[in-house]
Amino acid sequence: MAEMMYWEAIRRAHDEEMANDPMVICMGEDIGVAGGTYKATKGLYEKYGPERVIDTPISENGYTGLGIGASFLGVRPIIEIMSVNFAWLAMDQLFNSAAKVRYMSGGQLTAPIVMRSAGGTAHQLGAQHSARMEKVFMGIAGLRVVTPSTPKQAYGLLKSAVRCNDPVYINEHELMYNMKGEVPDEEFFHPLEGSDVVREGHDVTLFGYNISVHWCLQAADILSKQFGIEAEVIDLYALSPLDRAGIAASVRKTHRAVIAEEAEPCVGVGAEVMAIINEECFFELDAPPVRVSAVNVPIPYNHTLEKAAIPNANDVVAAVRKMFGK
Amino acid sequence: MNVADKKRLLREMLFARRFEERCYEAYVERKIGGFLHLYSGEEACAHGVLEAARPGDDYVITGYRDHIHAIKCGADPKKVMAELYGKETGSSRGRGGSMHIFDVEHHFMGGYALVGGPFPLAAGMAKAIKMKGTDQISICFLGDAANNQGTFHESMNMAKIWNLPVLYVCENNLYGIGTRIDRSTAVVDQYKRVSGYDIPSAQTDGQDVEAVYKAAKKAVDYVRSGKGPYFLELMTYRYRGHSMSDSNAYRSKDEERMWSKRDPIILLRDRLIEAGELTLDDYKAMDTEILDEIEDEIIAFAEQSPEPRVEELEKYCLAENDPWVLGGGR
Ligand SMILES: Cc1ncc(C[n+]2csc(CCOP(=O)(O)OP(=O)(O)O)c2C)c(N)n1
Ligand SMILES: [Mg+2]
C-alpha cells in the first residue's frame, strides 16, 4: 500500500488505463502540455502523445460531443471539465446524446465516456466557480454518477468508469486533490454502485458523499467523545443509482438518519435519500430524517459569507444533538 | 486626441498598472482571495477603445479580467479594491469578488467567469439599445480563446442578422491559460473569423494606445451610425500568469522580453517625452502621486471598510418586496 494524493491516484488510473487500451484517450482544456489544472494528467502528454492526450479549445459542448461520437466507434474518452461549473455548457451533449443513445437506439449504441470534473466549493472562487452540480447529474437517466471521497476511491472509480459500458460522470472536489490516503499497489477496480460503511454505530446514521463523508466522520468522533452518541457513517460514493438496500439496512439498524450534503437542499442528495428511507423503511424511524445542506444562494465571494453558506462538521453535530435533544 | 488627453491616458494607464500590481501584493498578503486575473501589459486595449467610446454611457461587458474596464467606465477604484477585499463597500457589496465587478450606474455591466458567456449578453444589450432608440452602443471585451465557444459564432450571426449596435473587442494575448492560440484555434488571426458572418473587422497593435484609439474610433463610429456589429482585434500580451495560480511556465523568457519592450505605458511616455510634452521627472512625480493615492486612499478604504453581515447572506438572491410575486398584491 502506498500513500498518495487524490490527484496522483487519478493520474495513476489514467496512466494505467491508457497503457492497457490504446483506444483510451483523454481530452480537456490545458490537460496536455500543461498537465491539467489539478495535475490529473501530468506527464501523460509526453508519454502517450497528442493524438491521445488532447488539449481542447474552450468548447465544452463541442469536445464533449466529439468524445461521445468517438465513443460510438469504440474510443474510450476520459473528458476532463476543468471545473464542474463549465459542465453546464456540455450539458446538451451529455444529457441529450450520451445518456439517451443506448435507450433510444433500443440498445444498439452506447456512449462509454467518462466525464470528470472538479466540483464543490473551494476558497472564495465566487458564484460562477462554486457550483455543486451532483444533483443535476443525478437527475439524468442513463448516466452513472460516482464521487470519490478518498484517493483510493478516486483511483478505483476512474478505473471502473473507463471500462464500464455506460457513460459515467465522476464528481471530484477542488479541495481534495492534495488529500493523502492509502491506495493499494496492485491494480483494482472499485464498484460503481453500492455504498460503504466507513464507521459502525448504532444510534444514528450519517450519510455523506465526497467531502461530506469527512464532515460526518469528524462529527461522529465528536458525538462519541462528547455526547456518547455512536453514529454510523455511510459513504454514498455512488450517487446514481443510489444504494437503496445499503441506505435502508443502516436505517433499520440505527432508526435515525442525517444526510450531509455540500449542495443546496432542494432536489438534492438529501431529498433523494429521505425519499428512499420513506419508501423502504419509514416505520423503522424513531425520528424524522434531517438534512444538513448549503444555504440556497449563489455562493458569495466574501470569506465569512461563503463559510456561512456551506455546512461543516459542526452543523452535522448540531443536527444530531437536536435530534437527540442533547 | 490632444496632448492633455494623452497625458491623462498615460496617467490612467499607469494607475491601472499600479492598481493591478498592488492587487498582486494584496493577494500574496492574503487580503484578496479566490481567483485573481491581472491586466498588466494589456492596459492600452481597454483605455484606447473606451477613450474612443463614451464610457459611463455606452454599455460595457467583459470576462473575469475586469478591474480596469470597470474603472475606465467610471467605477470608483476604492470600491473595486473593497470588492477584492470582500467588503460591504465593494462594488458588488463583497458578494462578487475579482471576477464579478459590476457598476451598473456607470453602465459597466459586469465581469463574468464563464468563458464566452458575455458574447450573447452584449448582443442582448445592443438589442435593448436598438429598441430604446438611443445612440448608445454595447461593447464586449473578451479574450482570443473565448472565440472557440459556440456563443461566439451564435452571437456574431445574431448580431449581424438583427443589425445590432455591438462592438466586439478581442484582446488577443496569444494564450488561453497555458494553451497558445495556434494549438487551439484553426485561424490564428481572429479578425478573419467574423468574415463568415459578413461583419467588418480589423486587427491592430494593442500595445500602442494611440493606434488602438484610432482603430476603435472607426469601429465605434461605424457601430454608432447604425450599420451593425463590428469586430476589433487587438494584439496584446499579459505580463503575469493567467491568474495568480498560474506559473507561466509555458511561455519562453524570450517571448516575454520581446513583449515587455513594447510596454504600452512606456511607449506613450517616451513618445510624450520625445515630443517635449513631458519630462522623466514629471512621469516619476506622477507615479509617486499614484502610488500614494493607491496606498493612502484606496487600500486604506478597503482595509477600513466593514465586512458584509452574515444575517444578510440571503439578501440579493431574489427581488425583495416585489408585489407581482403575490399576483400584484390583489
Ligand atoms: C466555460 C469555461 N470554460 C473554461 C474556463 C476556464 N478558463 C478560464 S479563462 C480561460 C482562458 C480564456 O482565455 P482567453 O479567452 O484568451 O482570455 P484571457 O484570459 O487570455 O484574457 C479558461 C480556459 C472558464 N472559466 N469557463
Ligand atoms: Mg487570451
Q: Which domain holds residue B302?
A: 3-326
Q: Of the residues A29, A60, A232, A272, which is catalytic?
A: A60
Mean pLDDT, residues B212-227: 98
C-alpha cell at B11: 496617467
Query: 57-76 in B: which are within 8 Å (CB) of A?
Result: none
Q: Rounded to the nearest whole angstrom, what is the distance from the C-alpha of residue B245 to the centroid of ligand 2?
A: 16
Q: Is residue A188 part of a domain?
A: no
SS3 string, chain B, reads CCHHHHHHHHHHHHHHHHHHHHHHHHHHCCCCCCCCCCCCCCHHHHHHHHHHCCECCEEEEECCCCHHHHHHHCCCHHHHHHHHCCCCCCCCCCCCCHHHCCEHHHCEEEECCCCCCHHHHHHHHHHHHHHHCCCCCEEEEEECHHHHCHHHHHHHHHHHHCCCCEEEEEEECCEECCEEHHHHCCCCCHHHHHHHHCCCEEEEECCCHHHHHHHHHHHHHHHHCCCCCEEEEEECCCCCCCCCCCCCCCCCHHHHHHHHCCCHHHHHHHHHHHCCCCCHHHHHHHHHHHHHHHHHHHHHHHHHCCCCCHHHCCCCCCCCCCHHHHCCCC
Nearest chain A residue (CA) to B150: A59
> What is the number of the ligand closest to the CA of B146?
1
B112 to chain A: closest CA residue:
A128
My answer on whether A219 and A261 are in the same domain is: yes
Final residue of a structural domain among A122, A151, A183 = A183
Centroid of ligand 2 to alpha carbon of A215 (angstroms):
39
Contact criterion met (CB < 8 Å) for B310 and A304: yes
Ligand with an atom nearest the CA of residue B147? 1
Atom of ligand 1 nearest to the CA of B149: 1
Q: Does A304 touch chain B (CB under 8 A)?
A: yes
CATH number at residue B305: 3.40.50.970
Is residue A191 in some structural domain? no
Give the length of chain B.
330
Asked whether residue A316 is domain-assigned, the answer is yes
- Report how many domains make up chain A: 2
Return the pLDDT at B6. 98
Mean pLDDT of the B310-316 span: 96
Interface test with A, best of B62, B83, B179, B181 (most A CBs within 10 A): B179
Q: Is the distance from CB of A234 to CB of A250 less than 8 angstroms?
A: yes
- Which of B36, B37, B95 should be substituted to probe chain A, the one whose Cβ sees the most A Cβ atoms within 10 Å? B95
Record: contact B94-A302, CB cut-off 8 A: yes
- The answer to whether B182 faces chain A, any CB pair under 8 Å, is no
Are residues A222 and A129 part of one domain? no
Q: Which of A135, A160, A183 is the last residue of a domain?
A: A183
* pLDDT bucket at B328, cuts 50 / 70 / 90: confident
A190 within domain boundaries: no
In the prediction, which pLDDT does B329 show? 61
A204 & A165 share domain: no
Asked if residue A189 is part of any domain, the answer here is no
Of B77, B27, B99, the residue nearest A298 (C-alpha)? B99
Nearest CA to ligand 1 atom 25: B114
Which SS3 state, helix, strand or coil, does residue A76 take? strand
Distance CA B42, CA B53 (A): 18
Residue B330 pLDDT level (bands cut at 50, 70, 90): low
Among residues A245, A274, A236, A61, the alpha carbon closest in space to that of A145 is found at: A236
Task: Find the catalytic residue in A129, A173, A190, A214.
Answer: A129
Please give the order of strands across the beta sheet that includes A231-235.
A196-199, A231-235, A204-208, A257-260, A290-292
Q: Is A123 a catalytic residue?
A: no
C-alpha A273 chain-centroid distance: 15
The C-alpha atoms of residue B75 and residue B78 are separated, in whole angstroms, by: 9
A295 and B35 within 8 Å at the Cβ level: the answer is no
Q: Are residues A10 and A95 in the same domain?
A: yes
Place of cell 486587427: B203
Residue-level pLDDT at B162: 96
Size of interface A-B (CB pairs under 8 A): 120
pLDDT band for position B77 (cuts 50, 70, 90): very high
CB B317 to CB A89 under 8 A? no
A284 assigned to active site: no
Question: Which distant-in-sequence residues (6+ apart) come within 8 Å of B146 by Cβ?
Answer: A58, B63, B115, B116, B119, B152, B176
- Angle at A199 (CA atoms; ends A193, A203), nearest 5 degrees: 110
Cβ contacts of B284 within 8 Å, gap of 6 or more: none
- For residue B250, the chain A residues in CB contact (below 8 A) are 33-34
Asked if residue A297 and residue A160 are part of one domain, the reply reads no
CA distance, residue B113 to nearest chain A CA (Å): 6
Tell me, what CATH number does A265's domain have? Answer: 3.40.50.920
pLDDT band at B82 (very low <50, low <70, confident <90, very high): very high
pLDDT (tens digit per residue) in B254-312: 999 999 999 999 999 999 999 999 999 999 999 999 999 999 999 999 999 999 999 99
Residue A26's pLDDT band, with cuts at 50, 70 and 90, is very high
Query: What percent of chain A is predicted at pLDDT more than 70?
Result: 100
User: Based on the domain organization, do A89 and A156 belong to the same domain?
Assistant: yes
Same domain as A227, residue A99:
no
Backbone angles phi, psi at A27, to 5 degrees: -145, 150
A318 and A233 in one domain? yes
Which residues, other chains included, contact B251 with Cβ-Cβ below 8 Å and sequence gap of 6+?
A: B175
End of a domain among A149, A183, A217?
A183
CATH number at residue A53: 3.40.50.970
Q: Does the distance separating the beta carbons of B317 and A126 come in below 8 Å?
A: no
pLDDT of residue B326: 82
**In whole angstroms, how far apart are CA A142 and each of A131, A134, A192, B180?**
23, 15, 14, 37
Alpha-carbon distances of B12 from B179, B265, B288, rounded to whole Å: 31, 10, 14
The residue type at B165: P
Q: Which of A27, A58, A64, A125 to mutate to test the pocket of ligand 1 (most atoms within 8 A of CB)?
A: A58
CA of A96 from ligand 1 middle (Å) equals 25
Instruction: Tell me how far apart the alpha carbons of residues B155 and B193 are, in angstroms, rounded to a whole number.
Output: 13
Whole-model pTM: value is: 0.95
Q: Return contacts of A220-226, CB within 8 angstroms, 24+ apart.
A: A222/A313, A222/A317, A223/A317, A223/A320, A223/A321
Residues B145, A301: C-beta atoms closer than 8 Å: no
A93 secondary structure, DSSP code: I
Over residues A232-247, mean pLDDT:
98
Residue-averaged pLDDT of chain A:
97
The range of the structural domain enclosing residue A264 comes to 196-324
